[in-house]
Amino acid sequence: MGVLALQGAFAEHLAALEKLGAEARPVRLLADLPGLEGLIIPGGESTTMARLLAALELYDQVKGLARDGMPMWGTCAGLILLAKNAIGLREANLGVMDVAVRRNAYGRQVDSFEADLEVPALGPPPFRAVFIRSPRIEAVGAGVEVLACRPGGEPVAVRQGQLLGTTFHPELTPDLRFHQLFLRQGKKRAARAKGKGQPEPRGRHDR
């Protein structure tokens, strides 16, 4: 599993993956991409990350991998990078997930808060979510599944095929269930790709 490590909360994601026994590595260069089962795009500052993606010539490759079906999970600023419509971001983003998000939409006075989320895909107990100057998901496309909403409010965790997005930071709390969910997606896809790429099993008498 790769964690985009240009800026932001990448170390915490790497630590969470390691706690789960997953093989994980930071991604900073094109050479770090081959062989990954998935990629986490962490929280941080979306403008800076978008600029670095372009400056380091990672932009086209990462976008191509997302389009080819690589599991990717954007947390907070990471989701801003994945969104097709990132309102308030002036840089080009990856634009692969059919959601509209507005940067810094919760305003300064409430720019950080926590909430207990019911997440049916994870089961009980509720997931304690930490929001730090997070974006707000304002619209989701037809193919996007809402995994969790803020109590009485808008979606905060979404999934579209192999793409996962959370406006909060699961890497900052000890609950590793979102990381487990994402790892399972990566494993499923890797198994499918392996099945496709291998020749038919040979019969017992084949030489």
Q: Which residues are catalytic?
A: 76, 169, 171
Q: Give the whole-angstrom CA distance, residue 179 versus residue 192.
A: 20
Minimum gap (Å) between residue 142 Cβ and ligand GLN: 26
Residue 46 as a binder of ligand GLN (CB under 6 A): the answer is yes
Minimum gap (Å) between residue 21 Cβ and ligand GLN: 26
Question: Interaction with ligand GLN in 110-139: which residues (CB under 6 A)?
Answer: 132-134
The residue (of 46 and 162) whose beta carbon lies closer to ligand GLN is 46
Question: Interaction with ligand GLN in 79-98: which residues (CB under 6 A)?
Answer: 80
- Selected binder of ligand GLN within 28, 32, 45, 176 (CB under 6 A): 45
Q: Give the whole-angstrom CA distance, residue 27 versus residue 33.
A: 7
Q: Mark 168-200 as b/e (b = at least 16 C-beta within 10 Å).
A: bbbbbbebeebbebbbebbeebeeeeeeeeeee
Residue among 123, 106, 122 at smallest CA distance from 179: 122
The residue (of 133 and 187) whose beta carbon lies closer to ligand GLN is 133
Minimum gap (Å) between residue 206 Cβ and ligand GLN: 54
Query: By three-state DSSP, how is residue 183 classified?
Result: helix
Q: Give the whole-angstrom CA distance, residue 116 versus residue 130.
A: 9
Chain residues in the site for ligand GLN (CB under 6 A):
43-46, 76-77, 80, 103-104, 132-134
